[in-house]
Structure 1
Amino acid sequence: MNVDKAVAYHKQHPSVHVKDVLKRFTVPKSTFFDHLSGTHSARGVNTTRNLSLQQEAALVGTINEFARRGTFLAPRHMRELANRFTDEPVGKNWPSTFIRRHNDDISSKFFRFQEIARLEADTPSNRAAFHGLVKSVYDDHFHPSHNLYNMDETGFTLSNEFNERGVTPKHTTSKSKGTLPKDTHITVVAAISTSDSPVPPYLIYPGQHFIEEWTTPRDSEPKMMGAGQSWRR
């Protein structure tokens, strides 16, 4: 964010005139002094902020960190993260205001997605706990390596791909994948042992959508049959 760079430059070079600093970083005078004093003004009038400058900077860093790992946050996820910093919930339109305020670092656009974003589980503490458990299993030598498996799951819908708005670093291209919404229909679980022995994947499908003939025993020889405009084995 240019205003943050301008403030940092001014603190490192106090002898440089403020006018020259503003010209160098192309930032408004009022915005510069608001950030320098730790306050924020909207159109020249002091307003109450939901988050402090430090908290907003931390949120921008979190957005960029998720994007670095291939997970793009939707505006609703931004609200959830912001509410962890404040006692009063942020408003419905707060994410768009936040994005405009930090448009030097982040942007909002639509992305085509296929992968699920595990926002609730993907935290530093959970990752550290997972690696600690894996290490303890290895260290006790109770289980042979071919009985240790890495399990992974992903979800996908039965409909065509569609777009969802994601918040990402400023120059992220729209070809990147975003997050899958909550209406996942099928879950695929894959497993492979530490000795590279794979296990056939599991398909988890909502029981209320099962068709009886899917579980009806068939001839061992595969057959193809037509069903309207579709084909099935």
Structure 2
Amino acid sequence: MAPIDDAVEDLKSRDSGEHFTLAEVAKKYQVNRSTLGRRWRGVTASREDGYLNQEALNQQQELELIQYIMRLTERGLSRTREIIRDFSSKIAHRQLSDRWVSRFITRHQIHLISQWTTAMDHTRHLADSESKYRLYFELLHRKITEYHLEARDIYNMDEKGFLIGLIGRSKRIFSRRQWEKKEVRASLQDGSREFLTVLACCCADGSSLPPALIYAAKKGAIRSS
């Protein structure tokens, strides 16, 4: 690290209430006081930052990258920042940083947005549509009316699978238009993983049954919790 960078890091490490002068720090690292002052105020940048700020992708390449991200979003395959960084690095023929990804998203914030999301199984994604939800609740309402059902007669059971050792949330880059229209809120994951499953059963009157756990087990083996 160059002496001027050491001096800037020294200034950053000091407490806000600590008394010091730029002249003292400049003398300590044997750098020009005016140069240090400009760097500290952000007027000039280090050589590393200057290199990173150079155009990594041209305008056409960035436009194609945006379209690529938007196509993936439509398919429920939004990519992480790391994947976008590595993909862009291959196009640029040099390693780009996480800061480059942040600047790329900022430059194109009218099209892109970076958000935390949870994973969704592929089969659940296929069933996730407004028309199917509407048909389901219309059928449910007809059956409640037909059989004169009361709240105490209606139960809903659902299962929740926990992928052991797998992080469920990640930050991904989406098409801003689709995110803000709530057309997409999750990214797909492989549905073939083994789950520890919890079964929950709730009644429409507000009561519930004790949950049940289903563990992974070998064929013929029964495991109690």
Shorter-chain TM-score tier: 0.3 to 0.5
Bigger-Rg structure (1/2)? 2
Q: TM-score, normalised by structure 1?
A: 0.41
Which structure dedicates a bigger proportion of its chain to helix? 2
* TM superposition score normalised by structure 2: 0.42
